[in-house]
Amino acid sequence: MDANAAKTSNNGDVAPSSKWLVAPKPVNAVETSNGSGEEKVRPLPPHVIYVDLRYDFDMDLLKRFYDDLMVPNFPLADELDSMEYMESMLREADEDDNESSSQAMTVNNAASSKPPAAAAVDFHILLMLSFPTAPEPGKRPNYSEAAILGGVVFEYYIQANVGLLTYLLVGSKYRGMRLGFILTEKCRDSLESNAKSRGHLAGCNAIFLETNSATKVKASNDVMPPALRHQIFYKMGLRLVDFDYVQAPLASDKKKVNYLLLCCFITPRIPSIKIGNEDNYFLPSTLLRNAIHAFWANAPSKGNRKYTDDVDFKRMLDQLNRRERIALLDLPWDRPFTIVDLHEHFDLELLVTFYQDILLPCYRDRMDELDSLDAWLELLSPKHKNPSNPLGDMVEFHLLLALQYSEDEEENSKPMIAGGLAFEYYPGNNCGFLTYLLVPVGERGERMARALIDSALEELDTAAKHRGQLGGCNVIYMESRTTPLTTNPNLEVQDIEQQHPLLEAMGWKMLDFDYVQPPNSDPLKKVKTSILMVFVTPRIPMLVQEDVRMSYLPRSTLKKFLMELWECSCGIFPGFDFRQDRDFVEMMEQLERRTRIPLLGRPWNKPWTLVDLQENSNVALLKQFFVEMVEPNYHTHKEDLEPLEIWQKRLIATNQAQINNQAAPELSHVLLAVRPSPEADSVPMLLGGLAFKYFEATNCGFITYALLKNVDSRESVAKALSERALDILDQDAVGRGNLAGCNAIFLETSDPNLVWGDKAKEKTIDMSLQHALLHKLGWRLVDFNYVAPPQRPGRKPLTQRSLAMFLTPRIPRVSMSNPEDTYFYVPRAMLISFMHDYWKVSCASSGYDFDQDPDFLAMMDLIERRERIPLLELPWERPWTLVDLWEDFDAQLLYKFYQNFYASSFPDKADREPLSKWLQLLSDESRENPSIEDFHVILALMSSRPAVRGGPGGAPSILGGVTFSFSTSISCGLMTYLSVPKQSAELMVRNLIDEATVAVNENAVLRGHIAGCNAIFMELPVLGFAGNNVTHEMIFKTGWRMLNLPYFQPPQNIYSAGGAQHLLLALVTQNVPREPVEGKPGQYVYFLPTDLVRTFIWHHWRDAYQRIGKSQVTKDPNYQRMMAALESVSRVTLLELPWTSSHAAAKL
């Protein structure tokens, strides 16, 4: 069968009464002719007409078509009708039409497997002809002059109301014109008209097509590779009918053809089921049974045999009788098995065979995990399906079997079982659960697994909709194992649950919690080595955080499913209350700690157990952790390490407080990741551990020790430990009445370059020093000079530490100008309260008066200077603290900064603002007056340590700073001065500018401009600030661009002669407009509207004149120059580097 056809448009209808139909004007047709991707464009030949030999029979035409096209293209004799048969069908067409019309609407019993009461077929051969000259209108053409371009042979089966396209041929000279598609479309149109003429006014039920199988027919035995033909047919709208089709013998001396596939055209009448976002098409089995009866009853060999006794015919009907819906399959069209559901068509013999011959051998060594055969029989019985049965409302059981039928004529029609899938539907929570999946080993098994799971998903969605859940099944679960099991290599069929790469590729993800499988045979025997997976569908919710997309299940959804699963599973154990089972209770308690349960990708093996020694006291494990991991990591600072006895006492005290619900200053935990030893008497392996506390007074958590073994899985261990610790702290908070959970969770960290342990051996890694890992897990550095309290009596506070904080949804934040940036912070009151409580509890045993400790006081002094303490991104090597004097005024610090930094950069007092102006703008009166600009001085400070232990600490040192203001009347910001030290200059520039940007936008909101600041400008001297260590590149990297405008700074004081030339910069924010650069994709030019720039300059100059007691701003020559430059443009472009002025190169 030739199929050089691809999709094109319909070129007209062929009515049953038409004898000759002239083709439309020749058009160009595009076709990929050889599968190589090269396209050929060929026009249709001239003077094309179509003729259907049913209505205009011509023996010479038939003979030429048969000899020239059919015989060469169908070398296999068994699949070629004889020319005599075709001739007889065409010559008897008129007589058949008359005799069949009275039987056309006779409807066969849909449920019966008996042959139709009457069978009739309309036989067609539609030819596409080309003439050298245009045929004379209204006159029968001389067909001997015509070239046969191609033809299509098809049949309309009146009783079944279906069509069958049996041969589609295109002459080799005319390939590449899409003639195959044109002929197919005309065949379909003719069949639709034929159906209507026979009384089926809605048209044909279905139109089928036969094609060679790619697995049974070699490409060398066909005119084109069958797989390539399948691709073409698929594009034409054909889908494979999911059953083993066998063509009836075409003559008494010919054999049946079992290497053909039966396909069906997708039309608006073909039913479908919506699975996710895809339409899964199917045909009712009744329709197919009627069609197969019609095909075999009307085969040319019908008079020589009783087809209903044929073994292949019986096998086809057996497949169809086992299913109500027959799927129409996408590519590839290779179906080595048939999937049936015993819930739909119960077969006791198949059930027992699958259970005893396939399932039992796979579970021979783990019978505790196996459902009983009696349980399956009960679930599949008609009694269970009865609506009055209460158990039927709890669970609906399905068993899908992949069946194969022998091609041996001597065997009966009973199929063989190649694999299977058992699954359950729980109506109470509208969830599905896949329990056993067994398929052959290898690629064949993988394909079968996909097919079985796809069928299960379809059945689950159907079951959900049948129960009124029109959106389909909520969640579909499946159990799997984390560790490989020893399997019998001689078994042809094995459990696929351990093939994690295949399962992940199919869309499965693991639920991140410790799953316990409910008991099957004994309530005391439960499997704890399994994991629970979820099939990710469009209904599974997704959380997006910091560009990371994470699928998850709501806690309530998972809890409800587990409750129903255990209730159904444990119903067979009289007197067993699973709600009191310790394993069940612990599993459910895990879920209480999180509102969202993440779905994880591979690896799915978690070869460790998390143990909280506060809940599960184990002195041996605690000692092993202390000796094996804590002491070696702190061997150079053992004097700062609390002894093991103190750890034990705190865990005991916490346990008692939890049991008795007593108040306690702190609740201590030690959480370990333990890998059990395969030997019962051996010591387990520790993979990591966290020591942490919950402080009730402030509702905060604190991680004091975070250690990992240096193994490949250390990052996964760190993630698991961190998340469980956060869950435990939230649980502590809820238990103490703080229902929203823990306010904040802190962790001590240090400079990674510090040597605390024996780095040469590197057996243990201090997680608190792994800044990149901590940041990835969700930790951020708290921006202040943290000092840790003394760990033991007589010891000093630890100054070489930093404090990190975990980002939870409760942490406040401020949106930056760039929507991708977020500014997280800790409220001052929270941090002060926690640090005071932490020092108080830490020093309680020694009686140390921490309120007088100079390190503590210096630390608290810097905290109190800010309303918000920022949480920093990487790198975590910032030795300074940023303080805004607008929030916490300090005259001494202001004076030092003015004299030592600002005045030094502008030695000529005519070039700088007077200190009195700064003092006035920072006064309480000015800050409360909305008509006066908001003036800020942000300083980078480092706390000064006392020279002698116990001596007084000095004022903090100033490392750098920035000055800026916000003008309420125009909602614009202006940065006027920036200075940083040479060391860490680029990092401080970014920190200062980021902090200033946040402050300006908050001022805008505070003053009623809720959309934020219109623009933020910066005045930069042409020759730069003297000695400020800032370069143009540093400023450019933080988002600044120079305005293409000659700019002059207004007079700074009464000594200024006039405006001084500066560069005017603008910060590129989301509010700054842009347009693409022509010819440079992805590049943009930013600009500001002229009116905005003009307004800013006017207000800025007017305010400066007013401060020095002057007026007549508009008469200043430099102001006039700027205004004149703005008159000629509608917008001001923002320039990339280099930045220069009209007078001199702007170098800093």
Q: What is the pLDDT of residues 266-283, one digit of tens each?
A: 998 899 877 656 788 999
Q: Are 132 and 148 in contact (CB under 8 A)?
A: no
Residue 816 binned pLDDT confidence (cut-offs 50, 70, 90): low
Encode pLDDT of 1078-1121 as tens digits. 888 888 999 999 999 999 999 999 999 988 888 889 999 999 99
* Percent helix, percent strand, percent coil in the chain, to nearest 5: 35, 25, 40
Q: What is the pLDDT of residue 118?
A: 40
| Helix boundaries (H) for 354-478 | 360-362, 373-380, 382-385, 443-466
Q: Would the pLDDT of 755 be above 60?
A: no
Instruction: Tell me the C-alpha distance between 445 and 474, whole Å.
Output: 28
- Rounded average pLDDT over 1131-1142: 86
Residue 691 bridge partners (DSSP): 670, 705
Q: What is the pLDDT of residue 442?
A: 78
Q: Would the pLDDT of 59 be above 90?
A: yes
Encode pLDDT of 467-503 as tens digits. 888 788 999 999 887 655 555 666 767 666 667 888 8
Residue 948 bridge partners (DSSP): none
- Rounded average pLDDT over 489-518: 79
The DSSP-derived string for 665-681 is SEEEEEEEEEE--SSTT
- Rounded average pLDDT over 319-336: 86
Instruction: Tell me the C-alpha distance between 539 and 471, whole Å.
Output: 9
* Higher pLDDT among residues 336 and 975, named by residue: 975
Residue 293 binned pLDDT confidence (cut-offs 50, 70, 90): very high
Contacts of residue 805, defined as CB under 8 A and 6 or more positions apart, other chains included, come to: 744, 745, 746, 747, 779, 780, 781, 782, 811, 826, 871
Q: Residues in the chain, how many? A: 1148
Q: Would the pLDDT of 208 be above 80?
A: yes
Q: What is the pLDDT of residue 534?
A: 94
Q: Which tokens go with 420?
A: 């299977």
Residue 608 binned pLDDT confidence (cut-offs 50, 70, 90): confident
Q: What is the DSSP letter of 174?
A: G
- Rounded average pLDDT over 222-247: 90
Dihedral sign for Cα 386, 391, 393, 398, please: negative
Q: Are 418 and 403 in contact (CB under 8 A)?
A: yes
* End-to-end Cα distance, the chain: 81
Q: Which of 165-179, 182-196, 844-858 has the highest mean pLDDT?
A: 182-196
Encode pLDDT of 90-133 as tens digits. 988 755 554 544 443 333 333 334 443 344 899 999 999 999 99
The residue written with tokens 């098994």 in the block is: 445
Q: Which tokens go with 73?
A: 């293209």
What's the one-letter identity of residue 589?
A: E
Instruction: Tell me the C-alpha distance between 572 and 1089, whole Å.
Output: 77
Q: Is 526 helix (H, G, I), strand (E, B) or coil?
A: coil
Q: Would the pLDDT of 1002 be above 80?
A: yes
Q: What is the pLDDT of residue 677?
A: 61
Q: What is the pLDDT of residue 1143?
A: 35
- Rounded average pLDDT over 356-364: 87
What percent of the chain stands above pLDDT 90?
37
- Rounded average pLDDT over 762-766: 83
- Rounded average pLDDT over 728-738: 87
Instruction: Tell me the C-alpha distance between 476 and 461, whole Å.
Output: 10
Q: What is the pLDDT of residue 528?
A: 75
Q: Are 1022 and 877 in contact (CB under 8 A)?
A: no
Q: What is the pLDDT of residue 490?
A: 66
Contacts of residue 783, defined as CB under 8 A and 6 or more positions apart, other chains included, come to: 869, 870, 871, 872, 878, 881, 882
What phi and psi values does residue 1027 have, to the nearest 5 degrees?
70, 25
Whole-number mean pLDDT of the chain? 83
Q: Are 455 and 339 in contact (CB under 8 A)?
A: yes
Residue 740 binned pLDDT confidence (cut-offs 50, 70, 90): confident
Q: Which tokens go with 586?
A: 């612990």
Pairing of the two strands 957-967 and 934-942: antiparallel
* Higher pLDDT among residues 509 and 823, named by residue: 509
| Helix boundaries (H) for 75-132 | 83-91, 93-101
Q: What is the pLDDT of residue 953?
A: 52
What phi and psi values does residue 547 have, to the nearest 5 degrees?
70, 10
Q: What is the pLDDT of residue 989?
A: 93
Q: What is the pLDDT of residue 356?
A: 92
Q: What is the pLDDT of residue 967?
A: 93
- Rounded average pLDDT over 534-555: 81
Instruction: Tell me the C-alpha distance between 964 and 977, whole Å.
Output: 7
Instruction: Report whether the peptide linkage leading into residue 665 is cis, meaning its omega lies within 30 degrees of zero.
Output: no
- Rounded average pLDDT over 955-970: 92
Q: What is the DSSP letter of 454?
A: H
Q: Would the pLDDT of 411 be above 70?
A: no
Q: What is the DSSP letter of 448?
A: H
The DSSP-derived string for 839-879 is HHHHHTTTT--GGG-HHHHHHHHHHHT-SEEEEE-S-----
Instruction: Tell me the C-alpha distance between 455 and 459, whole Å.
Output: 6
Burial class of 824 by CB neighbour count within 10 A (0 to 12, 13 to 18, 19+): middle
The Cβ of residue 635 has, within 10 Å, a number of other Cβ atoms equal to 12
What phi and psi values does residue 416 have, to the nearest 5 degrees?
-105, 150
Burial class of 17 by CB neighbour count within 10 A (0 to 12, 13 to 18, 19+): exposed
Instruction: Tell me the C-alpha distance between 128 and 187, whole Å.
Output: 11
Q: What is the DSSP letter of 587?
A: H
Q: Which of 741, 715, 712, 747 is nearest to 728 (CA)?
A: 741
Instruction: Tell me the C-alpha distance between 476 and 23, whole Å.
Output: 54
Contacts of residue 575, defined as CB under 8 A and 6 or more positions apart, other chains included, come to: none
The residue written with tokens 């000095």 in the block is: 954
The residue written with tokens 């904040």 in the block is: 744
The DSSP-derived string for 961-1000 is EEEEEEETTTTEEEEEEEE--STTHHHHHHHHHHHHHHHH
What percent of the chain stands above pLDDT 70?
85
Q: Which of 611-620, 622-631, 673-682, 939-948 has the lowest mean pLDDT?
A: 673-682
Half-sphere exposure at residue 676, Cβ-oriented, CA atoms within 13 angstroms: 11
Q: What is the pLDDT of residue 756?
A: 45
Q: Which of 1095, 814, 817, 1129 is nearest to 972 (CA)?
A: 1095
Distance of CA 198 to the CA centre of its chain: 52
- Rounded average pLDDT over 79-90: 88
What's the one-letter identity of residue 121?
A: V
Q: Would the pLDDT of 753 be above 80?
A: no
Residue 228 binned pLDDT confidence (cut-offs 50, 70, 90): very high
Q: Which of 518-527, 646-655, 755-764, 1061-1070 has the highest mean pLDDT?
A: 1061-1070
Q: Which of 377-386, 494-503, 677-686, 840-849 has the lowest mean pLDDT?
A: 677-686
Q: Over 334-363, what HEC string results?
A: CCCCEEEECCCCCCHHHHHHHHHHHHHHHC
Encode pLDDT of 558-583 as tens digits. 999 999 999 988 887 888 888 988 88
Half-sphere exposure at residue 194, Cβ-oriented, CA atoms within 13 angstroms: 33
pTM of the model: 0.52
Q: What is the pLDDT of residue 17?
A: 35
Angle, CA 821 vertex, CA 816 and CA 823 arms, to 5°: 65
Q: Is 200 helix (H, G, I), strand (E, B) or coil?
A: coil
Q: Would the pLDDT of 511 be above 80?
A: yes
Q: Is 1017 helix (H, G, I), strand (E, B) or coil?
A: strand
Q: Are 955 and 949 in contact (CB under 8 A)?
A: no
What phi and psi values does residue 403 have, to the nearest 5 degrees?
-105, 145
- Rounded average pLDDT over 892-911: 92
Q: Are 498 and 438 in contact (CB under 8 A)?
A: no
Burial class of 1108 by CB neighbour count within 10 A (0 to 12, 13 to 18, 19+): middle
Q: Are 666 and 693 in contact (CB under 8 A)?
A: yes
* Higher pLDDT among residues 105 and 232, named by residue: 232
Distances (CA, A) of 769 to 323, 430, 787, 872, 876: 62, 46, 16, 16, 10
Q: Which of 735, 694, 459, 709 is nearest to 608 (CA)?
A: 709
- Rounded average pLDDT over 417-426: 93
The Cβ of residue 1079 has, within 10 Å, a number of other Cβ atoms equal to 6
Q: What is the pLDDT of residue 162?
A: 95
